[in-house]
């Protein structure tokens, strides 16, 4: 959609953190009064399916997301994005430089998919959802369309630095 501020979220498997972030940006960005924000997500080694924990936590918050397959970075690499956010350390290190990206930032978050028992999985995805929502709400409150590239990167990095990381075991 032309005129929209476009954000790409990258993670290794594109099955957990990046999917939750994409869903939140798509939902909250569509409601933004300062200008529409759209989202996409991809991974350097996409999983076969979106993690059920991601689908469940989004459903808990009224966001249906079960029909979204993980995508490889190559499927979006040629598209122009205003901001690229990596949400895992491996994706930050493994993903190529995207020539169409105006700004990039790293929001390294622990992987909720590492949890094992059902209650730990639920808690890990809930904590990840909360951490991403706080970051995305702060990001969407910025004057995204008027920030220069360096300013956008700096402000997005500041958001991540000043908000707590999710904690789970």
Residue 130 lies in a domain: yes
CATH (domain of 113):
3.40.50.2300
Give me the pLDDT at residue 89, please. Answer: 76
pLDDT one-digit tens code per residue, 37-86:
999 999 989 999 999 999 999 999 999 997 889 999 999 988 999 999 99
- Tell me the pLDDT band of 1, cut-offs 50, 70 and 90: very low
Give me the pLDDT at residue 40, please. Answer: 96
* Domain count within the chain: 1
Q: Which structural domain, as residue segments, surrounds residue 21?
A: 5-162
Residue 168 lies in a domain: no
pLDDT one-digit tens code per residue, 141-160:
999 999 999 999 999 999 99
Residue 167 lies in a domain: no
Give me the pLDDT at residue 91, please. Answer: 55
pLDDT one-digit tens code per residue, 102-136:
999 999 999 999 988 999 999 999 999 999 999 99
Q: Which long-range contacts (CB under 8 A, 24 or more apart) does 146-155 make?
A: 149/102, 149/103, 150/103, 152/82, 152/83, 152/102, 152/103, 153/103, 153/104, 153/105
CA distance 121 to 129: 12
CA distance 43 to 56: 20
CA distance 169 to 167: 7
> What string of DSSP letters covers 96-152?
PP-TTEEEEEE-----GGG--SHHHHHHHHHHHHHHHHHHHHHHHTS-TTTS-HHHH
Residue 169 lies in a domain: no
> Among positive and negative, which fits the CA dihedral 169, 45, 83, 34?
negative
Is the pLDDT at 169 greater than 80? The verdict is no
Q: Where are the alpha helices (H) located in 15-109, listed in sequence order?
A: 17-30, 52-60, 89-94
Which residues form the catalytic set?
11, 88, 95
Residue 73 lies in a domain: yes
């Amino acid at each position: 959609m032309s005129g929209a501020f476009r954000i790409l979220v990258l993670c290794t498997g594109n099955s957990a953190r990046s999917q939750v972030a994409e869903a939140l940006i798509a939902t909250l960005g569509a409601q933004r009064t300062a200008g529409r924000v759209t989202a996409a997500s991809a991974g350097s080694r996409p999983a076969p399916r979106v993690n059920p924990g991601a689908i469940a936590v989004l459903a808990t918050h009224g966001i249906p997301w079960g029909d979204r397959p993980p995508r490889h970075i190559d499927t979006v690499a040629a598209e122009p994005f205003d901001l690229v956010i990596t949400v895992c350390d491996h994706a930050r290190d493994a993903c190529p430089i995207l020539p169409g990206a105006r700004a990039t930032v790293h929001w390294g978050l622990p992987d909720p998919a590492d949890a094992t028992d059902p209650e730990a999985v639920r808690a890990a995805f809930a904590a990840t959802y909360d951490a991403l929502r706080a970051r995305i709400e702060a990001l969407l409150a910025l004057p995204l369309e008027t920030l220069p590239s360096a300013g956008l990167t700096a402000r997005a990095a500041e958001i991540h630095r000043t908000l707590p990381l999710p904690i789970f075991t």
